[in-house]
Amino acid sequence: MAKVASLDDLQELIKTAEQKISLSSNLKELNDYKLEYITGKKSLLNRLTQGLKNLTESEKKSYGQEINAAKETLNSAIKGAEERIHRNYDEEGEWFDVSLPVPKAPIGHMAPDTQVIRQMNAFFTYHGYSVAEGPEIETDEYNFEKTNLPKDHPARDLQDTIYIESPEVLLRTHTSSVETRILSSHKPPLRFVVPGVSFRNEIINQSNHAIFYQYQGVLVDKDVSLANLKATLNEFAKFLYGDKVKTRFRTKYYPEVEPGAGMDILCRFCSGTGCRICKDRGWIEILGSGIIHRNLLAKSGIDWKVWSGFAFGMGLDRIIMTKFGITDIRDLHSGNLVFTQ
């Protein structure tokens, strides 16, 4: 605007500006109006003020008063609009109960078995073991013959077998069948763990089941010692039960190994003095292990004069039950176990 508007025009301009400001919906728009009408170099007020110099003193006085009034009107409109926009951002300021109880959003859970197996796998994969597996319907050859349990071996009686086609086709009685399958088909050095189900024809009760889960580990390399086995399992016990765990290794017979060893941890209920939980032993057995029997290596086609190894195995169900507070093994896989929020 090159020349000053008439007073009527001025009032019309201010009215239009005031309207636009009051309708602005966001702060950016409002800022643009502020520049256009009030603060900008070429703003309406600036231009009007500059036009004053062309007026007479009396005109200047009355016109000046009008400009000041307009300035006030526009500033007040801007302020009002700002408050309104902020208020809109916060939505309506009505009273709200933030403590209102709500149902928790559902998430999925892995089965207790998977959670424990994954935890153990994490330890062993860090130490260079692969996670292996094999068939559950097995042959006598891989389940018994190659695991150093030839026909008529007394230890077969300890593993009351469930047969599909007696005597050749059966349900694996232990995950050692996977050990013999892998040793028979791969060349050493080897490191692997096998989490998996096994089956035995046993009477079931609160703490024993005919269908049970095992976790087996195998290492085959050169010059493998009981010292290697002890150190590995000691680290594993710390991983599973914490740094303060106390372990004990003792001789124990397993046909797949020689020498054989059992690993116990100090009973945390009685700290070793003996109680009902540990059957007065002061210790709780957690796994069986040993140096892989030369017969097992030989039957799997591995030269025991060059290679040796260790193996260990443990029942998973007991560990799962302890971790999840399950008191009856029959609840583990019968359909009773649910995750509620």
Partner 1 sequence: MRVPYGWLKDYLEIDKSPKEVANILTLAGHALDKPIFGEEGDKILDLEDRGNRADIMGIVGIARDLAALTGKILKFPLTAPLPASDNNKFIPKITISSKKVLRWTAVVLRNVKVTPSPKWLAKRLASYGIEPLNNVVDVTNFVMVELGMPLHAFDLDKVDEINLRAATRGESLVTFEGTKLELDENDLVAADSKKPLTLTTAIGGRSSGIAPTTQNILLEAGLYDQPTARRSALRLKIKNETSQRLGKYLHPKFCEVAIARSLELFKDILDVSPVTPGFDYYPEELGPTVLNLTFSALNTIAGEEVKPTEAKEILKSLEFKILNETPLNITVEVPYFRTDVVGEADLIEEVLRIRTYEKIPLFLPNRPAPKKLEFPERDLEDLARDTLTKLGFNEVVSQQIIDEKDTIKTGLFNENKIIRLQNSWNEELNIMRPETLSGQLKYGLSYQKHGVTTIKIFEVGKSYTQTGTGRGLEKYKETRKIAFSANLDFLSFKSFVETFLKELGNFEPVWVKEKLVIYKEQKGAILKTNGEEIGEVGELKQALLSNFNLEGTWCHACFYTQELLKQAKPNPASGVKTSIENLVAEDKTFEVDARAEAGKLLNRLRNEMDPSTKIKFVGIFENDELKKQNKKNITFNFKFALKKAKEESEKLKNLIVTA
Binders of partner 1 among 153-192, rule CB under 8 A? 154-155, 157-158, 162-166, 168-169, 171, 182, 186, 188-192
Question: Cβ of residue 14: shortest distance to partner 1, in angstroms?
Answer: 42
**Number of chain residues interacting with partner 1 (CB under 8 A):** 93
| 79-118 residues near partner 1, rule: CB under 8 A | 106-111, 113-114
> Which residue of 33, 37, 63, 199 would you call a contact of partner 1, by CB under 8 A?
199
Q: Does 207 bind partner 1 (CB under 8 A)?
A: no
| 242-281 residues near partner 1, rule: CB under 8 A | 248-253, 255, 258-262, 274, 279-281
Q: Going by DSSP bridges, is the β-strand pair 257-266/283-292 parallel, antiparallel, or unpaired?
A: antiparallel
Tokens representing 48 are: 């009007």
Stretch of residues binding partner 1 (CB under 8 A), selected from 25-33, 39-47, 66-74, 332-340: 332-340
Q: Does 130 bind partner 1 (CB under 8 A)?
A: yes
| 271-330 residues near partner 1, rule: CB under 8 A | 274, 279-281, 285, 291, 293-294, 308
> Which residue of 12, 59, 83, 235 would you call a contact of partner 1, by CB under 8 A?
235
Question: Cβ of residue 238: shortest distance to partner 1, in angstroms?
Answer: 11
CB closer to partner 1, 36 vs 136? 136
Question: Cβ of residue 273: shortest distance to partner 1, in angstroms?
Answer: 10
Query: Angle 112-126/226-241 helices, nearest 10 degrees?
Result: 130
Q: Does 6 bind partner 1 (CB under 8 A)?
A: no
